[in-house]
């Protein structure tokens, strides 16, 4: 642990309002020739209380980047044509949507308006005349009666599928994501798929006669509910499964060079499963409809599972196979970091970028060139190029952070339950003096903590708190499949014990922590654990629970992932063993709560419905406990990552204010 320097005292600290200064890498792609990098940069906008995202193109041999998108809107779904001569991207400006085609040689942009829902997840046909994409599409049944003369139209929702709402999207009872084709010469749209299934990730074959894509059913207790890959002849015919006998999940198809093979990410666990089952890279034989694992020696999760408040998406479970290349690329989460890997069709596997950092996006091209985005605790993300085993940095998007004091996480491991080793970090505040006592905020996680940048952690450390966080058993990824599944059916059991063991260990390591001024907070399953902790311990002087779970019984039927998640997390369902779910519900222990509790929740949270917060608040308020409920209007489960900027800032201010009220910020 380093001592503060005189220079540290001259630097400003991060504040919630600094949200407006960040520039975030959203997407990136390397053109097939390996000469041009395209990427999108997003920024918060105070005037609209929203965001703008623009497309930039940079020649790798010439330095600076050029912005190719005009206007004030949101760009996404960037995709290079097969010859690298054109770049397509989706564009949304208010309620107006389009697909734009930028030409490298002339710099001209063709705009094709898209009426209704936007078209995203774009992929070029090899002939360059069409794009495949995904859009929300209303599905109507013949038995659904429409408006009739003289009779007012009904205002109803007819629900026939289990997942009838989705967090961040809203009610989807009558609409599904379908594959559409956009003709570039005419701007005409034609629908390729048409069923009550959600289709995504369209990928044209190299021959241009077929498209592979994923389909996910709304019923999670069938294998299609986990996701499966389909193939469809573009000239006509119904989609058929790539792997007819496959039991488990398959997603992210990537055609091999001769269209005889498709690489994908998946697993072989029968439904229903929850988020704790690892996906791995596989290779499918298109003709036989069979698949084999490519890297089963890796007991880790394909994708980026590092949770951060810097990116809206929670994971990046993809495999990519650049045309003309023998290597298949993917991300791998391991011990709080996300690495860039590649594997050959024969199974030779190697790590390309493996650092205490998070590779959150990547775009390979043939010839050992890979574009990738990387973040670490002092940088929310920049773009790098890997070539012939060496990396060079292409962007410096947040140079202003060089004038800010930033906490440096100190990594360590401690002994958990039954001798297990638990990964942990601690961040000290500026100007820390070991001879004085400092307040602590313990973060308990949703999914996993990582080497990513956290605006929230930095703001709290800057305010004067020691900030600590642990990856105890149940962590979503990074420590092996057995570790991730160790908390199933034992929510609030050994995972809670390991957190408290970690707290005891931390107090021995950091005797300058004031044990009378400790706070605890977390969101989602971290909110569950916060609720559980204050119902089972009085060691904390204040707590903030965010987008939390309080009642496993009602969570089953009110969350968009409730059925499979409840069964996977608690190992039962309400009608089979009501007692088991109640025992694993924090609200069952509400009478034990003496810790002042701030409850933060969003009214459009379909992952952990508002009723979870309302139940907990009502119980504690009825018992005259110190509790406050703050509801963010019009926000969803991802408020901290993608909510309106004003609400994101207010959320951080509310957390800081609550802890300041009960813990103070100054050393004593």
Asked whether residue 411 falls in the same domain as residue 357, the answer is: no
Beta pairing, strands 349-353 & 189-191: unpaired
Under a CB-based contact definition with an 8 Å cutoff, are residues 596 and 633 in contact?
A: no
pLDDT in the model for residue 82: 97
Number of domains in the chain: 3
Asked whether residue 392 falls in the same domain as residue 493, the answer is: no
Query: Residue 52: helix, strand or coil by DSSP?
Result: strand
Asked whether residue 495 falls in the same domain as residue 546, the answer is: yes
pLDDT block averages, 10 residues each, the chain of length 668: 51 94 97 96 97 97 90 97 97 97 97 97 98 95 76 90 93 96 98 96 98 96 94 92 96 96 96 89 98 93 90 86 96 97 96 97 94 97 95 97 96 96 97 95 90 97 98 94 94 96 98 98 96 98 98 95 87 91 97 98 97 98 98 97 97 98 94
Asked whether residue 386 falls in the same domain as residue 366, the answer is: yes
Q: How far is CA 441 from CA 402, 506, 548, 653, in A?
A: 25, 12, 18, 15
Residue 112 domain flag = yes
Q: Answer with the one of 355, 375, 397 that is the final residue of a domain.
A: 397
Residue 320 domain flag = yes
Residue 237 domain flag = no
Asked whether residue 626 falls in the same domain as residue 590, the answer is: yes
What pLDDT digit, counting tens, does each position of 167-204 carry? 999 999 999 999 999 999 999 999 999 999 999 999 99
Asked whether residue 392 falls in the same domain as residue 437, the answer is: no
What pLDDT digit, counting tens, does each position of 341-399 carry? 999 999 999 999 999 999 999 999 998 999 999 999 999 999 999 998 999 999 999 99
pLDDT in the model for residue 111: 98
614's torsion region: left (phi>0), alpha (psi -120 to 50) or beta?
alpha
Residue 599 domain flag = yes
What pLDDT digit, counting tens, does each position of 239-291 carry? 999 999 999 999 999 999 999 999 999 999 999 888 889 999 999 999 999 99
In terms of residue numbers, what domain contains 581?
Answer: 403-663
Asked whether residue 411 falls in the same domain as residue 329, the answer is: no
Q: Answer with the one of 117, 152, 167 that is the final residue of a domain.
A: 117
pLDDT in the model for residue 93: 96
d(CA 299, CA 482): 9
Largest CA distance in the chain: 81
Q: How far is CA 259 from CA 110, 204, 255, 323, 400, in A?
A: 31, 10, 6, 10, 47
pLDDT in the model for residue 446: 67
Q: Tokens 């916060």 — which residue?
A: 530
pLDDT in the model for residue 236: 85
Cβ burial of 584 (10 Å; 0-12, 13-18, 19+) is: buried
Asked whether residue 351 falls in the same domain as residue 407, the answer is: no
d(CA 524, CA 11): 34
Asked whether residue 491 falls in the same domain as residue 569, the answer is: yes
Q: What is the DSSP string of 89-153?
A: EEEEETTEEEEEEEETTT--EEEEE--SS--EEEEE-TTSSEEEEEEEEE---TTS---BTTBPP
Q: Looking at residue 51, which CATH number applies to its domain?
A: 2.40.128.650
Beta strands in 139-289 (DSSP E): 165-166, 170-171, 175-183, 189-191, 198-204, 210-216, 228-233, 240-241, 249-255, 261-267, 280-285
Under a CB-based contact definition with an 8 Å cutoff, are residues 359 and 340 in contact?
A: yes
CA atoms within 13 A on the CB side of 55: 28
Asked whether residue 335 falls in the same domain as residue 457, the answer is: no
Asked whether residue 625 falls in the same domain as residue 534, the answer is: yes
Task: Report residue 653 as tokens.
Answer: 């201010």
Beta strands in 234-273 (DSSP E): 240-241, 249-255, 261-267
Residue 184 domain flag = no
Residue 371 domain flag = yes
Residue 43 domain flag = yes
Q: Answer with the one of 117, 137, 154 that is the final residue of a domain.
A: 117
d(CA 367, CA 387): 9
pLDDT in the model for residue 5: 53
**Residue 497: which H helix or E strand, with range?**
helix 494-509
Q: Looking at residue 614, which CATH number applies to its domain?
A: 3.40.50.1820
pLDDT in the model for residue 6: 46
Residue 230 domain flag = no
Asked whether residue 545 falls in the same domain as residue 605, the answer is: yes
Chain-centre distance for alpha carbon 299: 21
d(CA 142, CA 233): 27
């Amino acid at each position: 642990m380093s001592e503060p320097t005189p220079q540290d005292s001259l630097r400003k600290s991060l504040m919630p309002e600094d949200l407006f200064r960040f520039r975030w890498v959203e997407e990136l792609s390397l053109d097939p020739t390996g000469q041009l990098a395209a990427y999108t940069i997003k920024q918060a906008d105070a005037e609209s209380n929203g965001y703008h995202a623009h497309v930039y193109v940079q020649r790798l041999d010439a330095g600076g980047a050029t912005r190719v998108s005009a206007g004030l809107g949101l760009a996404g779904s960037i995709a290079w044509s097969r010859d690298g001569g054109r770049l397509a991207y989706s564009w949304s400006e208010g309620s107006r949507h389009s697909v734009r085609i930028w030409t490298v040689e002339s710099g001209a942009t063709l705009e094709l308006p898209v009426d209704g829902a936007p078209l995203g997840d774009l992929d070029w046909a090899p002939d360059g005349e069409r794009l495949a994409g995904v859009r929300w599409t209303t599905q109507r049944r013949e038995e659904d009666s429409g408006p009739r003369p003289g009779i007012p139209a009904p205002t109803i929702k007819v629900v026939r599928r289990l997942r009838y709402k989705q967090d961040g999207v809203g009610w989807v009872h009558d609409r599904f994501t379908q594959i559409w084709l956009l003709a570039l010469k005419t701007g005409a749209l034609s629908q390729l798929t048409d069923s009550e299934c959600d289709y995504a990730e369209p990928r044209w074959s190299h021959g241009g006669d077929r498209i592979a894509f994923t389909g996910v059913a709304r019923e999670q207790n069938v294998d299609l509910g986990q996701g499966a890959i389909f193939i469809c002849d573009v000239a006509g015919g119904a989609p058929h499964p790539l792997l007819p006998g496959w039991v488990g999940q398959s997603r992210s198809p990537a055609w091999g060079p001769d269209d005889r093979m498709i690489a994908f990410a998946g697993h072989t666990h029968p439904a229903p499963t929850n988020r704790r089952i690892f996906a791995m890279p596989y290779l499918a034989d298109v003709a036989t409809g069979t698949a084999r694992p490519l890297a089963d020696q890796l007991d880790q999760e394909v994708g980026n599972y590092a949770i951060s408040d810097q990116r809206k998406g929670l994971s990046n479970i993809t495999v990519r196979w650049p045309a003309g290349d023998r290597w298949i690329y993917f991300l791998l989460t391991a011990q709080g970091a996300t690495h860039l890997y590649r594997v050959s069709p024969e199974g030779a596997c190697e790590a390309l970028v493996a650092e205490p950092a998070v590779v959150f996006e990547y775009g390979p091209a043939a010839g050992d060139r890979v574009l990738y985005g990387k973040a670490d605790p002092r940088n929310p993300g920049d773009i790098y190029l890997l070539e012939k085993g060496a990396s060079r940095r292409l962007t410096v998007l947040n140079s202003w952070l060089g004038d800010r004091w930033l906490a440096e996480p100190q990594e360590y491991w401690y002994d958990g339950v039954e001798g297990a080793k638990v990964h942990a970090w601690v961040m000290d505040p500026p100007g820390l003096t070991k001879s004085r006592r400092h307040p602590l905020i313990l973060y308990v996680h949703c999914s996993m903590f990582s080497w990513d940048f956290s605006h929230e952690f930095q703001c709290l450390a800057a305010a004067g708190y020691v900030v600590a966080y642990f990856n105890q058993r149940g962590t979503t990824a990074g420590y092996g499949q057995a570790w991730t599944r160790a908390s199933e059916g034992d929510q609030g059991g050994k995972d809670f014990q390991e957190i408290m063991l970690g707290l005891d260990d931390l107090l021995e390591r950091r005797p300058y922590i004031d044990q009378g001024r400790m706070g605890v907070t977390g969101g989602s399953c971290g909110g569950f654990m916060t609720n559980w902790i204050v119902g089972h311990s009085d060691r904390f002087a204040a707590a903030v629970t965010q987008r939390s779970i309080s009642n496993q019984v009602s969570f089953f039927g009110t969350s968009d992932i409730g059925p499979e998640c409840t069964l996977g997390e608690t190992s039962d369902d309400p009608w089979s063993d009501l007692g088991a779910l109640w025992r694993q519900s924090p609200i069952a222990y509400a009478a034990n709560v003496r810790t002042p509790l701030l409850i933060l929740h969003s009214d459009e949270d379909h992952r952990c419905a508002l009723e979870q917060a309302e139940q907990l608040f009502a119980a504690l308020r009825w018992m005259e406990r110190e509790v406050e409920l703050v509801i963010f209007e019009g926000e969803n489960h991802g408020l901290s990552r993608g909510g309106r900027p004003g609400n994101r800032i207010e959320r951080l201010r509310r957390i800081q204010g609550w802890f300041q009220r009960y813990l103070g910020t100054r050393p004593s």
